[in-house]
Amino acid sequence: MAGLRNIDHRELATGHAQAMEAIAFGRRADDHEMPEAELWALADTMLHHFAEDAVFQASLEANRMLARDDHRGRAAWLAVAERIDQLQSLPGAE
């Protein structure tokens, strides 16, 4: 896949599983979001692992949540995608 860096796939799977668990089990600041620190941490992790494909990957997760009729999960992944976009627009970002 274009844009993927050499990564430890076990690390990615573990991080992804933890993020999905956080979203699925409601660790959110309110009824539709994860805590801000978790959103930024997940955005940074996704950016590190998927590079320019990170927003796309987060959007795929949002679509998966929508397919499950999980609107809170979808909102959380869309919030992650927004933060990835913000990180990518920082001066000096790759």
Q: Is 10 exposed, middle or buried (0-12, 13-18, 19+ CB in 10 A)?
A: exposed
Residue 59 lies in a domain: yes
Q: What's the pLDDT score for residue 24?
A: 54
Residue 18 lies in a domain: no
If you average pLDDT over residues 49-61, what whole number do you get? 96
* Cα 50 to Cα 4, 30, 41, 94, distances in angstroms: 5, 28, 14, 12
If you average pLDDT over residues 87-91, what whole number do you get? 92
Residue located via tokens 């976009």: 85
Residue 79 lies in a domain: yes
Residue 26 lies in a domain: no
If you average pLDDT over residues 12-31, what whole number do you get? 52
Residue 44 lies in a domain: yes
Q: Give the residue numbers spanning the domain of 67.
A: 31-88
Candidate ranges 4-13, 23-32, 38-47; pick with highest mean pLDDT: 38-47
Q: Tokens in use for 28?
A: 């959110």
**3-class SS at 93?**
coil
Predicted structure pTM score: 0.67
Residue 57 lies in a domain: yes
Residue 63 lies in a domain: yes
Q: What's the pLDDT score for residue 13?
A: 52
Residue 84 lies in a domain: yes
Q: What's the pLDDT score for residue 5?
A: 41
